[in-house]
Amino acid sequence: MSIVQQINEGLQTLGFSQSLADQLDQFLAFLGVLLVAYLADAACRKLLLKVVSRLVKQTKATWDDIVFDRKVMVHLSRMVAPILIYILIPLAFSNADSATLALIQRFCLIFIIIMFLSFISSLLTAVYTVYSEKEQFRDRPLKGLLQTAQVIIYFVGGIIVVSILIDRSPGVLLTGLGASAAVLMLVFKDSIMGFVSGVQLSANDMLKVGDWITMPKYGADGDVIEVSLNTVKVRNFDKTITTIPPYLLVSDSFQNWRGMQESGGRRIKRSINIDMNSVKFCTPEMLAKYRKIQLLTDYVEQTEEVIKEYNQEHHIDNSILVNGRRQTNLGVFRAYLNCYLKSHPGVNHDMTCMVRQLQPTDHGIPLELYFFSSTTSWIPYEDLQSDVFDHLLAIISEFDLHVFQSPSGDDFRKTILKD
């Protein structure tokens, strides 16, 4: 004897008529199934989850805290009620039309699938959280992989749900979707390109979270804070956020400053223009003055010896300026700057360090300082650059040289007053 028949007989025993008992027996059986499902769900949430929560807090591991905090177990517990309803519902509708029973079971199955997909998605999110906090995985595009996996899971789940609703095999739907692959690729174009680009960026080690990148075409100049399936977020130095599609970083060019940061030195390449009219040969008085400068003492003496030997070898009088080798104030100034940079504690002495002349222009002779700082931090780097050129501009007059600059209003005023 089925449960429905037992309920029917019990109702008749209580005085209900046969017709009324036939109308209420299945309804009461259905309420009983719902009550059992509700009690099971309440037992899981109120008792089981609380016990698991206490056990998790007592363990030393952190991953179980993250998994429980991400409501993974909550999504799992939500599957209990629909599973019980799906199993017990035939007992409540044993005498009902098979179509009605199939419809109820179909909706229960859909709810079970949705809860299962939510459980898998939350589990993947928890796994992502665990691994993203590990040092060896922080520079990997884990978020893009997470989003890709979630898209695939929900896409497959959606196909299964639709197949249950229309009572068709999922294979039939997949066959139909294969014919419309072009439409699907158009709809999911950004996601597909983002996934492929994320794999390329990671495999070729082109980009990591924390890298400083520059992409002027898209207004990006700052640190990468997130690499996801469809966007790469860059926090610019003015605290604005720039979002760039990952495929643009593969198809277009961008500058990654990670190599500079890992090298331990940052390049300084700046020049000043020297007035060509102030360049001249050094007189004995000028050399005597330069010799008193500690950084130039050895240079001046050694250079004088070389010049004397050259002039003696070629029978040239040292006093002759033309056709003879003589020191110039610009050459001595370059030597001073080289010695100054090589003795500066803020300069990286393991990297290129030089002072050179560039092609003269109508603005004078560009004298370029090319060297690397011993730090890659922005503020100390700018301080070093400013200190070096402050010293350069202050010391240049000691070598009877002048910096070229376009005439200003003050220059014209002095000329007029002099006249």
Enclosing H/E stretch for 45: none
Q: Assess contact for 389 and 270: CB atoms under 8 A.
A: yes
Q: What is the pLDDT of residues 146-194, one digit of tens each?
A: 777 777 788 788 878 888 777 777 766 666 666 566 666 666 677 777 7
Percent of the chain with pLDDT over 70: 71
pLDDT at residue 267, rounded to an integer: 92
Q: Which whole number is the average pLDDT over 338-356? A: 92
Structure tokens, 245: 């599609």
Using DSSP bridges, classify how beta strands 232-236 and 255-256 pair: parallel, antiparallel or unpaired.
unpaired
Computed over every residue of the chain, the mean pLDDT equals 78
pLDDT at residue 389, rounded to an integer: 94
Integer Cα distance of 344 and 356 in angstroms: 18
Q: What crossing angle do the helices spanning 3-13 and 18-43 adopt, rounded to 10°?
A: 120
pLDDT at residue 250, rounded to an integer: 84
Beta bridge partner(s), residue 214? 221, 255
Would you place residue 416 in the very low, low, confident or very high pLDDT band (cuts 50, 70, 90)? low
Domains of the chain listed by start with CATH number? 3-133 (no CATH), 202-256 (2.30.30.60), 267-418 (no CATH)
pLDDT at residue 6, rounded to an integer: 56
pLDDT at residue 324, rounded to an integer: 45
CB atoms within 10 A of CB 418: 6
Q: Which whole number is the average pLDDT over 405-416? A: 64
Integer Cα distance of 281 and 292 in angstroms: 18
Most confidently modeled range among 38-47, 197-206, 262-271? 262-271
Residue 101, classed as helix, strand or coil, is: helix
Q: Assess contact for 247 and 193: CB atoms under 8 A.
A: yes
Q: What is the pLDDT of residues 331-345, one digit of tens each?
A: 999 999 999 999 999
Q: Assess contact for 224 and 211: CB atoms under 8 A.
A: yes
pLDDT at residue 169, rounded to an integer: 73
Q: Which strands form 232-236's sheet, in the order they lie side by side? A: 241-244, 232-236, 220-227, 212-215, 255-256
Q: What is the pTM of this model?
A: 0.56
Most confidently modeled range among 108-117, 317-326, 368-377? 368-377
